[in-house]
Amino acid sequence: MRIKIKEAADFLRTRDNFYILTHQSPDGDTIGSGFGLCFALRKLGKNANVLCSDDFPKRYNFMMEGYEPMKFTPETIVAVDVADAKLLGSKLSGYGDYVDLCIDHHVSNTEYAQRLLLYPDAAAACEVMYSLLTEMEIPLDKKIAECLYTGIATDTGCFKYGNTTRLCHMIAAKLMEQGINFEWINREMFDIKSRARLLVEQYISSSMEFYLDDRCAIAAVTLETIEETGLAQEEFEGIAGMSVQVEGVMVGAILKEKEPGKFKISVRSASDVDVSAICRKLGGGGHKKAAGCTLEGKVDEVKMQLLSAIAPALGMDLWLV
């Protein structure tokens, strides 16, 4: 059942003993909205814990400073930023059918919860959470403000992406009143990388090839490369964006060999070219600006298959370039 913000506020006010569930592979927004809500409920004298199927990545630890799990029997289950019960992950899957309230911003929310507070136009669950805490008249403090800021910043690429709303900026201005160290947060979230990540970026950057009058960039990572270089598998997250960072490139792709001869292809658009249409032709799918598919063959064959699909989308003939 879809509910409005006032109903969600009333619900939280009248309940106690909260388990707040975050999604698996937790990111800044699910952690920020989870701990933001937890600290707010505790300020009201209520019992609240935050749960996750996976460990929280270390770089988000600052949001949990001063947090200790409490001992109580849970009575109210709230999920934050969790679009689908499946995304609760293995350890929390048992709660899937018993979520009393879901607070979310994903238009794809499957409405698995008893009550759903959904703002599909919000950039982040933390944007919804800010409105909810305001409705509940819970005064902000620095801790809560840092949680909500982090969620909004990470989901919008620091106010850079097209999903950024006017409200994101207005909330950021309000959160800054609490003296949050947004400079430090942004540096940790956006600028700092591990040496292992640096190596992956170096590899992608130096192996980038340019095709179709330099309007298409492709980098490939084979199993052989991984073995030779020792590149860390877990450091490839979000790497596809690198394929469209060079001036003039309209479509970019990263080819990553998953099993011998089987490549996961991530395609990105930095133009009006709809890469989901390109990937659908190749048996995949996705969004206009970010899509993917799986292709089989030797790395050069796979590149050719992909380029044959990209060329017409750029209005070009592969064999004439």
Compare residues 142 and 169 and give the one whose CB is closer to a copy of itself.
169
Instruction: Please give the helix or strand (H or E) that residue 253 lies within, else none.
Output: strand 251-259
Q: Which is nearer to a copy of itself, 94 or 162 (CB)?
A: 162
Of the candidates 256, 246, 195, 201, the residue with the CA atom closest to the CA atom of residue 225: 256
Q: How many other CB atoms sit within 10 Å of the CB of residue 27? A: 19
- Two structure tokens written together for 289: 């600006």
Shortest CB 110 distance to a copy of itself, Å: 28
Show the tokens assigned to 132: 């909810």
**Residue 30: HSE in the Cβ half-sphere, 13 Å Cα cutoff:** 26
Please tell me what DSSP assigns to residue 2. Answer: B
d(CA 228, CA 62) in angstroms, rounded, equals 36
Alpha carbons 130 and 17: distance in angstroms, whole number: 21
Report the interhelical angle of 5-14 vs 125-135 (nearest 10°): 70
CB of 276 to a copy of itself, least distance (A): 18
Residue closer to a copy of itself, measured from CB, 264 or 321 = 321
For residue 275, the number of C-alpha atoms closer than 13 Å in the C-beta half-sphere is: 23
Nearer to a copy of itself, 199 or 321 (CB): 199
Q: Which spans of this chain sit near a copy of itself (rule: CB under 8 A)?
A: 158-162, 164-167, 169-170, 172-173, 176-177, 182-183, 186-187, 190-195, 198, 201-202, 205-206, 208, 210, 241, 245-247, 270
**Closest residue by Cα to residue 21 from 112, 138, 108, 107:** 112
Q: Which of 278, 284, 285 is nearest to 310 (CA)?
A: 278
Nearer to a copy of itself, 172 or 291 (CB): 172
> What pairs with residue 217 in β-bridges?
210, 252
Q: Which is nearer to a copy of itself, 192 or 320 (CB)?
A: 192
The residue assigned the tokens 């992956």 is 200
Question: Quick one: 91 or 193, whose CB is closer to a copy of itself?
Answer: 193
At closest approach, how far in Å is the CB of 119 from a copy of itself? 17
